[in-house]
Amino acid sequence: MLKDMMSHFELYQPADLDQALELADRFGRDGWALAGGHDSLGWFKDRAKHPQAMIDLARIDDLHGIRETADGGIEIGAMSTLTEVERHPLIQERFKLLADAVSNVASPQIRNTGTLGGNVCQDTRCWYYRAGLDCYRAGGNTCYADTPDAMNREHCLFGADRCVAVTPSDGAPALVALDAEMVIHNAGGERVVAAEDFFMEPGVDITRMTVLNPEDIVTSIRIPNTWAGAKFYFEKVADRNSWDFALLNVAAAMKVSGGVIEDVRIVCGAVECIPRRLTSVENLVKGRTQNDETAEAAGAAATRGAKPLNYNHFKVPLMQNLVKRAVRDA
């Protein structure tokens, strides 16, 4: 395979959303919407993806900016950079969970140009898939990461259905925990999808990471005021503190009154193809006192049903400890 040599494509730089949607509709699967480009350009340099047309979204003003909504929530343009999200005063004040999550993405240089929309839409990082092998996700009939000799240290504990890859996004678990919504446009109009339903399980469609169709563009992310000012916790474990994708991360939002947990949402990343919401753990800790005993019970319950692969058994105690700390220290 030739590296660092892109195939030919036509570059389009629409000035407004209508033009971008027309291009996306015209080219369909042969088009590629470009946000920050960090995931996209890796695919192109490795000659693993061959779009005929690149639709650069950078010049569309409607896709930029962070604004307050009438209900006290916020709406984040999909092309807002991760640095803008991390530093915005409204997000810092009301939804610091998201600021903490995106601050853990890659390096400062990448956060300065990488976008929130791109972060949640990026493809999985499984090296077998990205190397161009004909795995299930690429349309073949083999999962090369799920064999006796496979390198699967970073792969899933839950939800394997032919594919054992995981979601690489640090922003996604925080958005699911905050009950965010993805605003999606195409030439036919707008639809809004809950963040929890935005990510695609392999058992539904193994060739996609999200519900986006080829003609769709994520235009913004809305966060309601439901969890504004709640207690938050985010932690990411990676081999290196900068650049690396998560071995495992956890995002938690919690409402506590008089020391008792009234409501909570806990979501883990890098353990499943989608951000894994721990509904059973949430139900377990609601109504309990926020203390070490409750945290221990939460950690133990978090990994029920886990099915580790050859080389990722370490993720089981790691997940237990992250969930334990999230419940105890939020």
User: Alpha helix locations (H) across 107-232?
Assistant: 108-113, 116-121, 127-130, 171-177, 195-198
Q: What gap in Å lies between CA 211 and CA 198, rounded to an integer? A: 6
Neighbours of 317 (CB within 10 A): 11
Q: What gap in Å lies between CA 318 and CA 312, rounded to an integer? A: 10
Indicate the pLDDT class of residue 1, thresholds 50, 70 and 90.
very low
If you average pLDDT over residues 288-309, what whole number do you get? 98
Any idea how long the chain is? 330
Could you read off the pLDDT of 69-107 as tens digits, one per residue? 999 999 999 999 999 999 999 999 999 999 999 999 999
Q: Is pLDDT above 80 for 314?
A: yes
Residue type, 123: D
Q: Is pLDDT above 90 for 6?
A: no
% of the chain with per-residue pLDDT over 70 = 98
Question: What pLDDT score was predicted for residue 43?
Answer: 86
Q: Is pLDDT above 90 for 4?
A: no
- The pTM (predicted TM-score) of the whole model is 0.96
Q: What gap in Å lies between CA 252 and CA 326, rounded to an integer? A: 6
Could you read off the pLDDT of 14-31 as tens digits, one per residue? 999 999 999 999 999 999
If you average pLDDT over residues 247-258, what whole number do you get? 98
CA nearest neighbour of 217 among 62, 110, 11, 41: 62
- Coil, helix or strand at residue 142: coil
Question: What pLDDT score was predicted for residue 42?
Answer: 83
Please, is 199 exposed, middle or buried when counting C-beta atoms within 10 Å of its C-beta (0-12, 13-18, 19+)?
buried
CA distances from 139 to 46, 133, 134, 208, 215 (A): 18, 10, 6, 11, 20
Question: What pLDDT score was predicted for residue 3?
Answer: 57
Alpha carbon distance, N-terminus to C-terminus of the chain = 47
CB contact at 8 A, 319 and 303 = yes
Question: What pLDDT score was predicted for residue 208?
Answer: 95
- Coil, helix or strand at residue 245: coil
Could you read off the pLDDT of 196-233 as tens digits, one per residue? 999 999 999 999 999 999 999 999 999 999 999 999 99
If you average pLDDT over residues 134-155, what whole number do you get? 95
- Give Dmax (Cα) for the chain: 62
CA distances from 188 to 18, 31, 48, 64, 282 (A): 11, 17, 30, 22, 38
Q: Provide the 8-state DSSP code for 28.
A: G
Domains and CATH numbers, the chain: 1-57 (3.30.43.10), 66-121+172-226 (3.30.465.10), 229-329 (3.30.390.50)
CB contact at 8 A, 155 and 309 = yes
